[in-house]
């Protein structure tokens, strides 16, 4: 069972970083307390992971046949990459680190199938674009069908408050469904668990990290709440829908990149160019730099393990 | 949800009370100023001035209560900040009206060359403008669109006030035999009264901001 420690570590870093995208706005706007956000995120991440996390596990499993040792190394390489890049304040995505780490950990044994990379990389690129389109459409739908029904300040406040809670819960479910494969996929492929049980365990690991997400939640929440309350709500909801769509397709994608795309989408409706070139550079780095670093870390760990155990 | 509604009910009720008191303060200030210009510092002017001071203090009290309530409550930061700005801007009307009255009475200034008929018209316009503002504020919580209609009408009244200010100022400028210092004092009074329209319009601008932020 100790093999699983690297997966729990990875799940913790994922939860600590990505929970902010879900309830950061609600916590920062005092709609709910941090403790409530932790509880709701944990519960719904576990439910999402258990019920719909299997698709992503299957996709990641196609990249390489895993043994418990390679699963351990892959997870550790991804977790170390995420930790290292966070410490260096470089942009990082767990989903992209995991793919690089799986390839790196199995590359030298010639046990890698590169064909699933085409849909995986396409999904990475489509994530911010899809979130942008969804954000744009949701904003338009709000203007056309909902705005009329929200007459006063009181009704608006109620709509946003409850909207943030509902979209946060949905976001937690989607995060679990989409991202749990990053945490537990390699162990399921190695035959350690059935997908559903693996999903629940992975969801719990993510939930463990959510407890430590307060700092990131404040940083991310502050950025999103810089938008108007309505834009913040639609951004969070678009992000959640995007994650859910890719969970159904079965490809883990970056939650943070979905948020960025959603912000661009709602900005487009207002005619505002919210494209931040620094952010665009970070996304590009996330697509190329993160998996590359994880790949190198995976190769190194694989060699260290070979030297130590064989 | 019940807690949120109760909180809004309280804010709405307090805001209505603040608007009512500020409105009375403005009305009595203008009444007192016009009376002072017509009759000098009479007993009635003194009584009205006292009333203005007490209304201004009352408004401050309600404002403080409202601010405390908003700060302690669970409104979202955007709403809290918008409400605080709104309250301050409403209170500014009472402050400014009282200041004009105090400055002319405490300095015992004389204004013998003012067109009182036009000043009466300014008074009427200010009361009309404040009435529109009250209606806009009342609707803010239940019908933002209609609230915006009233807020935008404030600008029209303000523009009429500006026209009157210009006319009166030009008349003062053309008055033969009036010392430049007296002309400036006359102009300052007219401008201060006309500026009340700008201060009322500022509240309307706040309403517009509140509604704009909440519109898609």
Q: What integer pLDDT is reported at residue A308 of this predicted model? A: 86
ipTM for the predicted complex: 0.80
| Binary contact (B4, A152; C-beta < 8 A) | no
* The Cα angle at residue B151 between residues B148 and B153, in degrees rounded to 5: 110
* Residue A10 and residue A78 in contact, taking contact as beta carbons nearer than 8 Å: yes
- Per-residue HEC secondary structure of A46-61 comes to HHHHHHHCHHHHHHHH
The average pLDDT across B84-102 equals 96
Nearest to A46 by CA among A203, A161, A180, A179: A203
* Residue A176 and residue A203 in contact, taking contact as beta carbons nearer than 8 Å: yes
Helix residue ranges per DSSP H, chain A: 4-28, 34-52, 54-61, 68-87, 94-107, 117-141, 153-189, 195-210, 214-225, 229-249, 255-269, 277-309
Higher pLDDT, B213 or B96: B96
Nearest to A291 by CA among A114, A92, A86, A122: A92
Q: Residue B120: enclosing H or E segment and its boundaries?
A: helix B116-140
Residues in chain A within 8 Å Cβ distance of B143: 151-152
Higher pLDDT, B60 or A229: B60
How far, in Å, CA of B134 to CA of B1, rounded?
27
Torsion of CA B186, B192, B195, B199, to 10 degrees: -170
How far, in Å, CA of A110 to CA of A103, rounded?
10
In the three-class reduction of DSSP (H, G, I as helix; E, B as strand; rest coil), residue A145 is classed as helix
Chain B stretch 52-81, residues whose beta carbon is closer than 8 A to a beta carbon of chain A: 74-79
| Binary contact (B77, A152; C-beta < 8 A) | no
* The Cα angle at residue A24 between residues A84 and A8, in degrees rounded to 5: 45
* Residue A260 and residue A225 in contact, taking contact as beta carbons nearer than 8 Å: no
How far, in Å, CA of B173 to CA of B180, rounded?
9
* Residue A253 and residue A127 in contact, taking contact as beta carbons nearer than 8 Å: yes
* Residue A26 and residue A198 in contact, taking contact as beta carbons nearer than 8 Å: no
Examine the pLDDT at B14 and tell me if it is beyond 80: yes
Tens digit of pLDDT at every position of chain A (310 positions): 788 999 999 999 999 888 888 998 888 888 899 999 999 999 999 999 999 999 999 999 999 998 999 999 999 999 999 998 888 777 778 999 999 999 999 998 888 999 999 999 999 999 999 999 999 999 999 999 998 888 888 899 999 999 999 999 999 999 999 999 999 999 999 999 999 999 999 999 999 999 988 887 877 777 776 678 888 899 999 999 999 999 999 999 999 889 889 988 988 887 766 666 777 777 778 788 889 999 999 999 999 988 888 6
Examine the pLDDT at B1 and tell me if it is beyond 70: no
* Residue B48 and residue B31 in contact, taking contact as beta carbons nearer than 8 Å: yes
Nearest to B111 by CA among B54, B40, B56: B40
Query: Which of A153, A160, A165 to mutate to test binding with chain B, by most B CBs within 10 Å of its CB?
Result: A153
In the three-class reduction of DSSP (H, G, I as helix; E, B as strand; rest coil), residue B19 is classed as helix
* A/B interface, count of CB pairs below 8 Å: 63
Of A143, A153, A225, the CB nearest to B79: A153
Give the number of other CB atoms < 10 A from CB of residue A197: 13
Residues in chain B within 8 Å Cβ distance of A151: 142-145
| Binary contact (B143, A139; C-beta < 8 A) | no
The average pLDDT across B35-46 equals 93
Q: Which two tokens stand for residue A224?
A: 């999103």
Examine the pLDDT at B2 and tell me if it is beyond 70: no
| Binary contact (B75, A157; C-beta < 8 A) | yes
Q: What integer pLDDT is reported at residue A272 of this predicted model? A: 67
Determine the residue of chain A that is closest to B142 in CA distance.
Answer: A152
A31 DSSP assignment: S
| Binary contact (B216, A143; C-beta < 8 A) | yes
């Amino acid at each position: 069972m100790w093999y699983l420690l690297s997966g729990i570590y990875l799940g913790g870093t994922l939860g600590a970083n990505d929970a902010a995208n879900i309830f950061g706005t609600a916590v920062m706007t005092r709609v709910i307390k941090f403790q409530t956000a932790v509880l709701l995120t944990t519960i719904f991440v576990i439910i999402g992971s258990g019920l719909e996390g299997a698709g992503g596990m299957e996709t990641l499993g196609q990249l390489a046949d895993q043994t418990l040792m390679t699963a351990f190394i892959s997870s550790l390489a991804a977790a170390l990459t995420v930790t290292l890049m966070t410490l260096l304040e470089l942009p990082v995505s767990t989903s992209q680190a995991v793919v690089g780490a799986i390839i790196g950990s199995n590359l030298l044994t010639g046990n890698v199938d590169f064909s699933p990379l085409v849909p995986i990389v396409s999904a990475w690129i489509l994530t911010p674009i899809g979130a942008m389109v969804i954000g744009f459409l949701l904003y338009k739908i709000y203007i056309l069908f909902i705005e009329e029904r929200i007459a006063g300040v009181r009704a608006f406040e109620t709509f946003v408050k409850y909207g943030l809670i509902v979209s946060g819960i949905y976001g937690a479910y989607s995060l679990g469904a989409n991202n749990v494969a990053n945490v537990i996929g390699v162990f399921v492929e190695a035959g350690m668990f059935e997908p559903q049980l693996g999903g629940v365990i992975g969801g719990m690991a993510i939930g463990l990290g959510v407890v430590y997400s307060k700092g990131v939640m404040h940083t991310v929440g502050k950025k999103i709440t810089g938008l108007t309350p309505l834009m913040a709500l639609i951004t969070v909801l678009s992000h959640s829908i995007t994650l859910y769509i890719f969970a159904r397709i079965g490809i883990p994608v970056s939650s943070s990149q979905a948020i960025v795309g959603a912000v661009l989408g709602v900005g487009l409706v207002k005619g505002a160019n919210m494209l931040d070139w620094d952010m665009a550079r970070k996304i590009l780095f996330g697509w190329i730099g993160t998996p590359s670093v994880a790949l190198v870390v995976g190769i190194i760990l694989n060699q260290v393990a070979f030297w130590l155990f064989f | 949800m019940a807690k949120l509604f109760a909180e809004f009910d309280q804010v709405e009720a307090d805001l209505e009370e603040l608007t009512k008191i500020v409105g009375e303060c403005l009305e009595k200030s203008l009444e007192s100023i016009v009376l002072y210009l017509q009759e000098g510092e009479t007993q009635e002017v003194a009584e009205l001035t006292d009333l203005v001071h007490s209304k201004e203090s009352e408004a401050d009290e309600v404002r403080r209560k409202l601010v405390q309530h908003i700060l302690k409550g669970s409104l979202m930061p955007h709403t809290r900040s918008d409400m605080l700005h709104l309250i301050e801007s409403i209170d500014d009307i009472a402050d400014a009206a009282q200041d004009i009255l105090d400055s002319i009475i405490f300095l015992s200034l004389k204004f013998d060359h003012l067109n009182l008929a036009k000043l009466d018209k300014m008074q009427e316009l200010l009361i009309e403008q404040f009435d529109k503002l009250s209606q806009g504020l009342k609707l803010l919580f239940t019908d933002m669109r209609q609230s915006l209609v009233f807020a935008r009408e404030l600008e029209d009244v303000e523009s009429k006030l500006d026209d009157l200010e210009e006319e009166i100022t030009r008349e003062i400028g053309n008055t033969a035999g009036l010392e430049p210092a007296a002309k400036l004092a006359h102009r300052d009074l007219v401008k201060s009264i006309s500026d009340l329209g700008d201060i009322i319009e500022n509240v309307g601008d706040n309403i517009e901001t509140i509604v704009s932020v909440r519109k898609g």
